[in-house]
C-alpha cells in the first residue's frame, strides 16, 4: 500500500543527500583505483624499473581485489555497509600514501595489495549502499547514475594520474590520489544511515526490510507476552479450582 501510494503521488526524490554522498564517495574511490592502475607503470618507468615489475604489480592488484570482492559480500551483510566503506577507503588511503615514503619492490607490492583490498571493499559496499537508499520506483535510474560516476572515473582518473606522475617529483601521483582517498573516507563517514533508516525514502529496500524485521520482532514479543498472560491466567484458575470451599 505504501509503494502504491508513492507511485500515485508525486515522483519520489532521487537526489537525497545520502545518495549524493555515496555517489561522490564512489567517484573518488574509482578515480583512485583507475588512476593507480594507469599511473603506477609510468611511475616505475621514472624509477628505471622494467615492465616485468609493472606486470607483477598489476597482477597483485587484480588478484587482491578479486579475493577481497569475494569476501566482502558476507562482511557487508553481517558487519554493515558503512563499516566496510570506511575500512575500504582507509586501506585505499594507506596503500596509496605508502609509496611516498619508500619505493622498493617489496613496499610497492604491499601497497598494491592494500590498494586492491581497499578499492574492492569500498566500491562493493558503496554499490550496496546505493541500492539501499534509492526509492524502489527510481531504482534503475539511480543505479544508472551510479554507473555514470564509475564511467566518469575511468576517463578522469587516468588523465589525472598521468598529469601527476609527470610532475616533479613523480611521487605527486601518490600524494594527489591519497588526498582523493581521504576525501572518499570523509564522504563515507557522512553515509551513516543503518541506525536511522527513517532517513531513507519510504520505499527504499533497506528501510522496508528493517521495518518488516522490527514489526516481526514486535509481533513475536506480543505473542510471547500474550502466551505468558494466558499461562498465568490458567495457573490462577487451577489454583482457584483446587482451593477448598468453605
Kindly list the averaged pLDDT for each block of 10 residues, start to end, along the chain of length 246. 49 90 96 96 90 94 95 93 96 97 93 97 96 94 94 95 95 97 97 89 90 86 81 75 64
Report the pLDDT value the prediction gives residue 7, as an integer from 0 to 100: 46
3-state secondary structure of 57: helix
Report the pLDDT value the prediction gives residue 236, as an integer from 0 to 100: 73
- CA dihedral of 114, 179, 162, 62, whole degrees rounded to 10: 20
Report the pLDDT value the prediction gives residue 115, as an integer from 0 to 100: 97
Max CA pair span of the chain: 108
Q: Report the sign of the C-alpha dihedral through residues 96, 99, 101, 106, in that order.
A: positive
- Cβ-Cβ contacts under 8 Å for 162 (sequence gap 6 or more): 38, 39, 42
User: Ramachandran region of residue 48, left (φ > 0), alpha (ψ -120 to 50) or beta?
Assistant: left
Cell of 238: 487451577
Cell of 119: 578499492
**What is the DSSP-derived secondary structure letter of residue 13?**
P
**Whole-prediction pTM:** 0.85
Report the pLDDT value the prediction gives residue 244, as an integer from 0 to 100: 66
Amino acid at each position: 500500500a505504501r509503494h502504491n501510494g508513492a507511485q500515485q503521488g508525486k515522483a519520489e526524490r532521487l537526489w537525497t543527500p545520502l545518495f549524493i554522498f555515496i555517489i561522490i564517495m564512489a567517484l573518488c574511490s574509482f578515480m583512485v583505483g583507475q588512476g593507480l592502475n594507469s599511473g603506477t607503470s609510468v611511475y616505475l618507468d621514472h624509477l628505471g624499473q622494467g615492465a616485468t615489475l609493472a606486470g607483477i604489480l598489476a597482477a597483485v592488484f587484480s588478484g587482491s581485489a578479486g579475493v577481497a570482492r569475494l569476501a566482502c559480500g558476507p562482511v557487508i551483510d553481517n558487519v554493515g555497509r558503512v563499516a566496510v566503506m570506511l575500512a575500504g577507503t582507509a586501506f585505499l588511503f594507506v596503500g596509496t600514501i605508502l609509496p611516498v615514503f619508500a619505493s622498493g619492490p617489496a613496499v610497492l607490492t604491499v601497497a598494491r595489495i592494500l590498494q586492491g583490498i581497499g578499492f574492492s571493499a569500498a566500491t562493493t559496499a558503496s554499490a550496496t549502499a546505493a541500492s539501499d537508499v534509492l526509492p524502489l520506483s527510481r531504482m534503475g535510474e539511480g543505479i544508472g547514475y551510479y554507473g555514470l560516476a564509475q564511467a566518469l572515473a575511468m576517463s578522469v582518473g587516468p588523465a589525472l594520474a598521468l598529469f601527476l606522475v609527470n610532475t616533479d617529483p613523480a611521487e605527486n601521483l601518490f600524494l594527489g590520489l591519497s588526498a582523493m582517498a581521504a576525501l572518499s573516507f570523509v564522504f563515507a563517514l557522512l553515509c551513516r544511515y543503518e541506525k536511522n533508516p527513517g532517513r531513507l525514502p519510504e520505499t527504499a529496500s533497506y528501510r522496508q526490510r528493517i521495518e518488516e524485521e522490527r514489526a516481526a520482532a514486535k509481533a513475536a514479543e506480543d505473542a510471547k507476552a500474550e502466551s505468558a498472560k494466558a499461562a498465568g491466567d490458567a495457573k490462577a484458575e487451577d489454583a482457584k479450582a483446587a482451593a477448598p470451599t468453605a
